[in-house]
Structure 1
């Protein structure tokens, strides 16, 4: 695995992890009724997901150009981080909405 691919894979793991962490913090803030912080944390999570997608796009571009890479456990792990973070952030938005509605009742 070359350095460029390793950097992209590590980007997926790092930014995916950051997104999931921010989404979890957003849920905790909403639970406490701090919706301003919850919204800010979701924006942070979304920004991390954009960066993760940039890393993924780099890998996909290499593949599309015929520069195939060996799929390793680290590669699979990085994709798992991204997909889990996307799902978790989407679910966090729904949970925050539920807390917001409960707070307004």
Structure 2
């Protein structure tokens, strides 16, 4: 494993945090009827989410190839951040669609 578990955990936390922040910025823009800007923020959220998910996937592949690591509280914490950001993204996408329908 090129990066240590602590570094990967912080990477997941950082990217997941960015994904969540961009998703909520998208929601704020949708509330203000700035749907084009909301879409741009959603895309940034998705891009950051992909980076977080890729870091997680790399860990899974390492483990699958026999390179196991001890479980750490920091890694568990990073997984919480990732799942929270993914859920926020999904819900906010749906909320933006509702804002668009109300706008019509």
Query: Is the pair's TM-score, using the shorter chain for normalization, greater than 0.5?
Result: yes
CA RMSD of aligned residues (A): 1.2
Match of 2:44 in 1: 44
Shift of 1:23: 0.4
Shift of 1:50: 0.7
Shift of 1:4: 2.8
Provide the rounded CA distance (Å) in 1 between the counterparts of 2:78 and 2:66: 21
* Alignment coverage as a number of residue pairs: 103
Provide the rounded CA distance (Å) in 1 between the counterparts of 2:9 and 2:33: 36
Task: Give the alignment of 1:58-77 within 5 angstroms.
Answer: 58-77=58-77
TM-score by length of structure 2 reads: 0.94
- Give the secondary structure class of the aligned counterpart of 1:55: helix
Contact kept in structure 1, 2:5 and 2:75, CA below 8 Å: no
TM-score by length of structure 1 reads: 0.93
Unaligned runs of 5+ in 1: none
Task: Give the alignment of 1:15-30 within 5 angstroms.
Answer: 15-30=15-30
Structure 1: 4+ residue segments shifted above 3 A: none
- Give the secondary structure class of the aligned counterpart of 1:68: coil
